[in-house]
Amino acid sequence: MNADVNRAIEVLSAGGLILYPTDTVWGIGCDATNDEAVKKVFALKQRDDRKSLIILLPDAKSVFNYVANPIPDLLGLLESFDRPTTVIYPQAIGLAEHAVHADGTVAIRVTNDPFCKTLLKRYKKPIVSTSANISGMPTAPTFADIDARIKEGVDYVVEHRRDDTTIHPPSRIVKWEEDGSMTIIRD
């Protein structure tokens, strides 16, 4: 795993794209603070750049670096989730322009996956995590199911967990509204 992390960091630092396993599905990733890299993700996925992307962080306290006005008891909320959950926050800061939705919100998931946590802690920047599929196509349940165009379109494909056939569902998505309420987008 260490060699994978090292190589992924090299690629991310150079503005490249990686294909990597997450706590949910395989993802296409890049440095979420590098707008040119984020644009490459949209191009590879053939996705409208007005749609949002998920950003991965290694721990709950990191959210404070990318959200201008975090919710009260943010740490308690994030620790209460019993499965991978992406939270959409208002007032994103410190991220690439195209990593932030046009309305200023950002979708962030704190990962529990050991590979992702190690990568994020060592890279010290947020990483985009969007499903490894062409926009409009089904999400690939395993590495073997990922479209060849995605595998060939990234700069590095992580070796870790390629043979894992465990199917993980996409994350739950909730939106934290400015009035303090929470809306479930995808359960």
pLDDT at 74: 81
Residue 180 has pLDDT above 80, yes or no: no
- Return the bridge partners of 89, or none: 106
Q: What is the chain's mean pLDDT, rounded?
A: 93
Over residues 36-61, the mean pLDDT reads: 93
| Tally: H helices and E strands in the chain | 5, 9
CATH number of the domain encompassing residue 82: 3.90.870.10
**pTM for this prediction:** 0.93
Angstrom CA distances, 163 to 60, 75, 145, 157, stand at 30, 34, 11, 13
pLDDT at 96: 97
What's the number of domains the chain is made of?
Answer: 1
Q: Would the CA dihedral through 34, 38, 39, 44 be positive or negative?
A: positive
pLDDT one-digit tens code per residue, 62-87: 999 999 988 777 888 888 888 999 99
- Cα–Cα dist 184/136, whole Å: 22
pLDDT at 84: 93
- Domain coverage including residue 159: 2-186
